[in-house]
Every structure is written in structure tokens, then in C-alpha cells.
Amino acid sequence: MNILIIGGTGGIGSALINLLINQNTENTIHSTYHITQPELMHPQLTWYQVDVSKDSDVAELSETVNQLDIVINAVGMLHSGDMMPEKTITQFDSDFFNQNISTNVLPTLLIAKHLSPKLKSKTLNYFVTVSAKIGSIEDNNLGGWISYRSSKAALNMALKTISIEWKNKKFNTCVFAFHPGTTDTNLSKPFQRNVPEGNLQTPEKVAAALINLLQRLSLKDNGKFFSYDGTEIPW
């Protein structure tokens, strides 16, 4: 299969690449990195340096890759530099909000825009973004983290909207959002002490859960939001 992993040097992205390479010698993996230089080199793997929040960068990427069976976007941010997610609205900062939007929502829109010709095919294919349950409006009982939460809610709406358009245009693409659970990566490091014992996922387990979903989901699951445990999450 021809697979594109966006954000391949991230915790979840790199676990996905490792698993896909080990799983099948026939898999061809294309992956993007941004600032962090990739360490993993493999004959089945090609790297591209892309800022996926830039229209021109994503347009250039789309010229480089062939028809794709699976696209997974594992790019995202929760904190940056000394900016941490807000505990209250009084901590809201417009630059931090805009950074959340441009990292957590914009890439999926740009990837869908530029790569749609590479997905339209006669065979079933997948367009997945790693989202977060915190972006579910129905599930929001705690409040807080307003920039990250709002960006993931916007991402979820973007995915749902793309799924409807592509269904109407008779794409064979199953579009879905994936919640990895709290996973041991740089993104969650500052918050891991609050995670109950046994609830912190390894990136390897999360990658396996996502690949498992890809093996069992089909067009009837287009436009849905799934957790790492296989259950559906309300939007």
C-alpha cells in the first residue's frame, strides 16, 4: 500500500511508521517532518520536509506523491515554549490561540485540498487525522484548555464536512477522526503526573490501535470519530 504519514517525527507518527514498515514489506511510506530531523531511514520510507500549515508547502508535497491508499495526519500541538493550555479564559492569548488553529486545524484542510486528487480512486482508501476527545462538544464536562479544545472541535467539524463532500462526490474514501488517549509523547509530558496509573498509552499501542481500525473500518464508517479502544466518540 502507498501510505502518507504527516508528522512522522512526532511520538505517534514515528510509532505508526515503525509499525507499517514492520507489518508489510510491500508498504511504501511517505512521511513529512517539520523541524525535528528524522532519525529512521529505511528503503520503504521517503521523507519530505514540509510545514503543513503552509498552503504552498502542501501544494508542493501533492506534486511529489502518487496515488495514496492511506493518509494519516499526526501533527499537532498543545503547548509551545512557555505557553501552556489555559486553565481559565483570563489566561487566553490570541497568538497562542492562532498557533493552535494553524497547527491543529489548518493542516487537515490543506492536505484535503491538495491531496484529494491522489485519493479519488476505485479502491477503498482512508483519510485520518489524529484529533482528541477534548474536541468533542458533547463530551465537554470539564472546561479549560480553551485554545486546544476549540482547535480540535474545529478540526472535527472540518473532517465531518470533508467526509460529506467526498461521499457526495463518490470518493471511495473513509474519512475519520482518531482519539489516541493520553499517550507518552512530548505533547503530553507536562501533564503526565495527573494521569491515573495504567492510563498512559505507549505510542506503539496507539499506533497498533489505529492500524487495527483501518483494517476493520469501511465506507459505512465515513465521517465518524473513533477512540483508540475502538469505540465511537460523539462529535
Ligand X SMILES: NC(=O)c1ccc[n+]([C@@H]2O[C@H](COP(=O)([O-])OP(=O)(O)OC[C@H]3O[C@@H](n4cnc5c(N)ncnc54)[C@H](OP(=O)(O)O)[C@@H]3O)[C@@H](O)[C@H]2O)c1
> Count of CB atoms within 10 A of residue 105's CB?
25
Complex with ligand X: residue 118 or 149, whichever CB lies closer:
149
Cα angle value 196/103/158 (rounded, 5°)? 90
Cβ nearer to ligand X, comparing 125 with 131: 131
| Cell, residue 152 | 480540535
The cell numbers describing 105, all together, are: 486545524
Q: How far is the CB of 25 from ligand X (least distance, A)?
A: 25
Alpha carbons 62 and 107: distance in angstroms, whole number: 13
Contact residues for ligand X, defined by CB under 6 A: 7, 9-13, 33-36, 51-53, 74-77, 103, 130, 132, 180, 182-183, 185-188
The answer to whether the CB of 211 falls within 8 A of the CB of 19 is yes
Q: Which residue has the cell 501533564?
A: 191
Q: 103 or 222: whose CB is closer to ligand X?
A: 103
Rounded least distance, CB 68 to ligand X, Å: 18
Question: Whole-number minimum distance, CB 26 to ligand X, in Å?
Answer: 26
Looking at the Cβ atoms of 38 and 167, the one nearer to ligand X is: 38
Q: Residue with CB nearest ligand X?
A: 76
Cβ-based neighbours of 90, under 8 Å, separated by 6 or more: none
Q: How far is the CB of 51 from ligand X (least distance, A)?
A: 5
